[in-house]
């Protein structure tokens, strides 16, 4: 880098931070020969950080948060290799042999691998240990990795690999930093890149008590006022996008052929005919909706009207000020207009108001200690030692704050603090506390660096109906397809392959996980029929009751929980509802389940999960006589001897 470059206004360097002030409009490739190592806060979208690394004279691995971004950048970079699931640009899967062939290919060009997080381990393994010496690792849009780690474990595992690279051979890049709770990143050098005059946006705000209705009214008005011009709508709700699209079609506001929804392929069936993927740098329809899969990273080479919809009644559909900036940055020539339509969040619960970084880290540490305590006590017990892996997974899966698991299992299956989830949880708390608690907080926040050109309060009467029947049909079809897949599966390895298939909808993967938990113990055909008859992702009660009954039936007679139950309840004996309540609570207390029932009616319902009964009289009162311990007539193929236990909280929920 030549600091005499006229595009560099000012440079200041400290021990841990370097700051560069550039001329407005300057690209990083015009200033740097190589992307700086460490945390790169580029402050502006579209400044060319990825382009700089792709053009640099060194071998690079660039990790993108989504496959659309990765494949588009690979397509624009001759000589690079895209590694991820198929896309319109790359419709064939990249095998390990193809990765190795690319790495070993002769020629003077440096290797540029552009990958998604799920594929990073394959790339590292294909290159071998020399990767840490011979390649520079760039993780792009690191804030997207932090936000999405709760849904994709591969996001944080990318950071595990990042830490193995020398500090001079790695970079985390973002225009909208969230901050890092991970203490290992405190020692990363930070490079801040700013324009001489920060790039502000002209933003119109609409505050409303009917977010979807006001959004429809505004979109309709924009189409009527600006005929022929395109509109992009950012709304992180597949159902919400579909509802608005159907309303636009029904009211004949725009031709249905001109309505498109950009979302993940797993949601393709839910949006039906509106589904689209980007095949170039143009919006595919006059009206294009897009969900969070398209909030970061990709470029659009056209101007359009942007409508961002933020519904803070759900954390998933609340857009932070950072996300609004990323969304607006997708248009490289600049937007025709930008409107944010939003409401306010509900009264904040204690789990938001009373939590900070210190308390989240402390909770994660205590959770890890609890897992280690289990392991210490189980390790030397021949009956319990095989349960260690399952206990880890159960604790990590079930222990959450808001929607975030504060502990994760690393590549070796060991529990670690999930710093990305801590970061995302803190961001959710910040957004709820600071951005959407009242009508003017967002206005004040965005007004610091942008020009608020209008603030309007809307009380829309427009109702957006959601096609619940279609959702039910899709759920039923997904269940049938998953069960058909499972009929052809006969090993744990094949189940694992299904669970890592990026083309399978998440609902199907949930069914496969339920099957995986029981198939070793329950007759396979009976299990599939039970899934078909009882599994409903919209209402899990029927399946959970069957699952609890099946697990109890499969428990070995030596299982501690079954032994406790059989001490309190005997085949042939009769029990009144009050006696069942008292004895079940005694079992739960002995088993340290942390649940106490207070209703004889619920106690009897739960009791019938464990035992087949007939109604008799006892001392003149209605009573349950125990017939057997297998009320659902489950065909057990192998007994369960480990510590898998009935979870009353699941039944009660």
Instruction: Report helix, strand or coil for 174.
Output: strand
The C-alpha atoms of residue 390 and residue 386 are separated, in whole angstroms, by 8
Question: According to the model, what pLDDT value does residue 471 have?
Answer: 62
Encoded tokens for 183: 């203490």
Question: According to the model, what pLDDT value does residue 246 have?
Answer: 93
What lies within 8 Å, CB to CB, of 472 at 6+ separation is 538
Say yes or no to pLDDT of 645 above 60: no
Say yes or no to pLDDT of 97 above 60: yes
Q: Where are the alpha helices (DSSP H) in 336-467?
A: 350-353, 357-378, 388-398, 419-430, 441-446
Query: What is the number of alpha carbons within 13 Å of residue 84 lying toward its C-beta?
Result: 28
Encoded tokens for 227: 């005929």
Q: Where are the alpha helices (DSSP H) in 238-335?
A: 238-250, 268-271, 321-328
The C-alpha atoms of residue 473 and residue 471 are separated, in whole angstroms, by 5
Encoded tokens for 131: 């990767």
| Average pLDDT score over residue span 298-325 | 91
Question: According to the model, what pLDDT value does residue 516 have?
Answer: 86
Taking each helix axis from N to C terminus, what angle separates 524-534 and 468-487, rounded to the nearest 10 degrees? 180
Chain-centre distance for alpha carbon 403? 10
The C-alpha atoms of residue 242 and residue 247 are separated, in whole angstroms, by 9
Look at strands 400-401 and 275-276 and give their pairing.
unpaired
Instruction: Choose among 345, 347, 340: nearest CA to 312.
Output: 345
| Average pLDDT score over residue span 324-337 | 93
The C-alpha atoms of residue 427 and residue 404 are separated, in whole angstroms, by 12
pLDDT band at 90 (very low <50, low <70, confident <90, very high): confident
Instruction: Choose among 184, 187, 119: nearest CA to 157.
Output: 119
The 8-class DSSP code of residue 50 comes to: H
Query: What is the number of alpha carbons within 13 Å of residue 521 lying toward its C-beta?
Result: 20
Question: According to the model, what pLDDT value does residue 647 have?
Answer: 57
Instruction: Report helix, strand or coil for 614.
Output: strand
Of 107-111, 276-280, 382-386, 546-550, the poorest mean pLDDT is in 382-386
Say yes or no to pLDDT of 292 above 90: no
Say yes or no to pLDDT of 595 above 80: no
Question: According to the model, what pLDDT value does residue 348 have?
Answer: 75
The C-alpha atoms of residue 246 and residue 271 are separated, in whole angstroms, by 10
Say yes or no to pLDDT of 382 above 50: yes
| Average pLDDT score over residue span 392-401 | 81
Q: Are 7 and 22 in contact (CB under 8 A)?
A: yes
Cα-based distances in Å from 196 to 12, 33, 461:
14, 21, 45
pTM of the model: 0.74
Chain-centre distance for alpha carbon 5? 43
When mean pLDDT is compared over 146-160, 182-196, 464-478, the highest value belongs to 182-196
pLDDT band at 543 (very low <50, low <70, confident <90, very high): confident
What lies within 8 Å, CB to CB, of 353 at 6+ separation is 433
Cα-based distances in Å from 57 to 34, 69, 78:
8, 22, 14
Give the other-Cβ count within 10 Å of 482's Cβ.
Answer: 25
Say yes or no to pLDDT of 416 above 60: yes
Question: According to the model, what pLDDT value does residue 650 have?
Answer: 52
Encoded tokens for 109: 């060009």
pLDDT band at 653 (very low <50, low <70, confident <90, very high): very low
Instruction: Report helix, strand or coil for 558.
Output: coil
Judging by beta carbons within 10 Å of its beta carbon (0-12, 13-18, 19+), is residue 581 exposed, middle or buried?
buried
pLDDT band at 257 (very low <50, low <70, confident <90, very high): very high
| Average pLDDT score over residue span 130-151 | 90
Phi, psi dihedrals of residue 65, rounded to the nearest 5°: -70, -30
| Average pLDDT score over residue span 549-563 | 88
Question: According to the model, what pLDDT value does residue 474 have?
Answer: 67
Q: Are 479 and 535 in contact (CB under 8 A)?
A: yes
Q: Are 590 and 563 in contact (CB under 8 A)?
A: no
Instruction: Report helix, strand or coil for 63.
Output: strand
Of 2-6, 470-474, 512-516, 553-557, the poorest mean pLDDT is in 470-474
Residue 395 sits at the vertex; the CA angle it makes with 180 and 375, to the nearest 5 degrees, is 105
pLDDT in tens, 340-355: 999 998 777 777 888 8
Give percent above pLDDT 70 in the chain.
95
Cα-based distances in Å from 639 to 446, 468, 630:
60, 40, 13
Helices H, strands E: what count in the chain?
25, 24
Average per-residue pLDDT for the chain: 88
Encoded tokens for 576: 């009144």
Say yes or no to pLDDT of 642 above 80: no
| Average pLDDT score over residue span 448-463 | 94
Give the other-Cβ count within 10 Å of 20's Cβ.
Answer: 24
Domains identified in the chain and CATH numbers: 8-195 (3.40.50.300), 202-345+436-466 (3.40.50.300), 350-430 (no CATH), 488-652 (no CATH)
The C-alpha atoms of residue 451 and residue 125 are separated, in whole angstroms, by 49
Instruction: Report helix, strand or coil for 129.
Output: coil
Residue 231 sits at the vertex; the CA angle it makes with 230 and 235, to the nearest 5 degrees, is 155
CA Rg value for the chain: 28
The C-alpha atoms of residue 353 and residue 345 are separated, in whole angstroms, by 13
Q: Where are the alpha helices (DSSP H) in 379-518?
A: 388-398, 419-430, 441-446, 468-487, 492-499, 506-518
Instruction: Choose among 93, 201, 186: nearest CA to 503.
Output: 93
pLDDT band at 32 (very low <50, low <70, confident <90, very high): very high
pLDDT band at 34 (very low <50, low <70, confident <90, very high): very high
pLDDT in tens, 172-207: 999 999 889 999 998 899 999 999 998 899 999 999
The C-alpha atoms of residue 230 and residue 306 are separated, in whole angstroms, by 9
| Average pLDDT score over residue span 42-69 | 92
The C-alpha atoms of residue 499 and residue 465 are separated, in whole angstroms, by 33
Residue with the bigger pLDDT between 498 and 242: it is: 242
Say yes or no to pLDDT of 233 above 90: yes
The C-alpha atoms of residue 617 and residue 122 are separated, in whole angstroms, by 66
Instruction: Give the sign of the dihedral formed by CA 278, CA 279, CA 280, CA 283.
Output: negative
Give the other-Cβ count within 10 Å of 468's Cβ.
Answer: 10
| 367-379 burial: b if 16+ Cβ within 10 Å, else e | bbeebeebbeebe
pLDDT band at 51 (very low <50, low <70, confident <90, very high): very high
pLDDT band at 404 (very low <50, low <70, confident <90, very high): confident
């Amino acid at each position: 880098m030549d600091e005499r470059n006229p595009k560099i206004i000012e440079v200041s360097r400290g021990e841990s931070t370097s700051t560069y002030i550039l001329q407005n409009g300057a690209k990083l490739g015009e200033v740097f020969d190589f992307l700086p190592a460490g945390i790169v806060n580029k402050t502006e979208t579209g400044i060319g950080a990825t382009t700089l690394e792709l053009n640099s004279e060194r071998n690079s691995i660039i990790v993108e948060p989504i496959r659309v971004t990765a494949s588009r950048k690979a397509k624009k970079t001759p000589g690079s290799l895209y590694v991820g699931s198929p896309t319109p640009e790359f419709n064939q899967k990249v095998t390990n042999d193809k990765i190795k062939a690319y790495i070993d290919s002769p020629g003077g060009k440096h290797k540029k691998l552009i990958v998604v997080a799920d594929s990073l381990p394959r790339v590292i393994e294909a290159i071998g240990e020399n990767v840490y010496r011979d390649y520079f690792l760039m993780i792009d849009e690191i804030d997207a990795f932090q936000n999405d780690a709760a849904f994709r474990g591969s996001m944080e595992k990318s950071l595990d690999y990042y830490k193995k690279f020398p500090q001079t051979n790695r970079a985390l890049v973002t225009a909208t930093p969230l901050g890092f709770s991970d203490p290992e990143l405190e020692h990363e050098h930070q490079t801040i890149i700013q324009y001489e005059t920060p790039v502000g946006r002209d933003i119109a705000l609409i505050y409303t008590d009917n977010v979807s209705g006001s959004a429809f009214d505004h979109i309709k008005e924009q189409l009527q006022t600006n005929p022929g011009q395109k509109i992009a709508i950012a709304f992180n709700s597949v159902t919400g996008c579909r509802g608005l699209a159907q309303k636009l079609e029904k009211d004949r506001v725009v031709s249905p052929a001109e309505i498109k929804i950009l979302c993940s392929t797993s949601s393709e069936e839910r949006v039906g005919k509106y589904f689209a993927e980007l095949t170039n740098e143009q919006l595919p329809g006059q009206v294009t909706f897009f969900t969070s899969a398209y909030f970061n990273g990709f470029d659009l080479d056209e101007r359009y009207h942007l409508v961002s919809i933020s519904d803070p009644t759900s954390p998933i559909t609340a857009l932070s000020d950072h996300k609004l900036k990323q969304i607006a940055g997708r248009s490289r020539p600049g937007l025709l207009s930008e409107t944010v339509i939003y409401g306010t969040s509900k009264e904040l619960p204690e789990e938001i108001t009373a939590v900070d970084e210190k308390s989240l880290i402390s909770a994660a540490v205590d959770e890890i200690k609890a897992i280690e305590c289990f392991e210490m006590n189980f390790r030397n017990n021949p009956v319990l030692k095989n349960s260690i892996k399952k206990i880890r997974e159960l604790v990590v899966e079930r222990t959450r704050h808001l929607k975030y698991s504060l502990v994760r299992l690393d590549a070796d299956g060991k529990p670690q603090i999930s710093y990305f989830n801590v970061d995302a949880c803190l961001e959710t708390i910040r957004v709820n506390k600071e951005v959407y608690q009242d009508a003017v907080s967002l206005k004040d926040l965005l007004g610091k660096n942008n020009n608020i050109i209008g603030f309007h309060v809307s009380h829309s009467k427009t109702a957006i109906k959601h096609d619940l029947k279609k959702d039910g049909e899709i759920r039923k079809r997904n269940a049938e397809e998953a069960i058909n897949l499972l009929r052809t599966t006969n090993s744990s390895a094949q189940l694992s392959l299904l669970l890592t298939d990026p083309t399978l909808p998440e609902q199907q993967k949930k069914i496969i996980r339920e099957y995986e938990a029981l198939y070793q113990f329950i007759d396979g055909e009976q299990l599939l029929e039970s899934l078909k008859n009882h599994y409903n992702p919209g209402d899990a009660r029927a399946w959970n009751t069957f699952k609890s009954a099946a697990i109890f039936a499969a428990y070995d007679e030596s299982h501690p929980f079954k032994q406790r139950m059989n001490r309190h309840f005997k085949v042939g004996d009769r029990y009144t509802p009050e006696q069942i309540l008292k004895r079940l609570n005694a079992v739960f207390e002995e088993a340290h389940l942390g649940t106490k029932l207070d209703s004889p009616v619920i106690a009897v319902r739960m009791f019938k999960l464990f035992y087949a009964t007939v109604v008799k009289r006892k001392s003149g009162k209605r009573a349950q006589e125990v017939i057997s311990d297998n009320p659902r007539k489950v065909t057990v193929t192998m007994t369960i001897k480990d510590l898998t236990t009935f979870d009353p909280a699941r039944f009660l929920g």
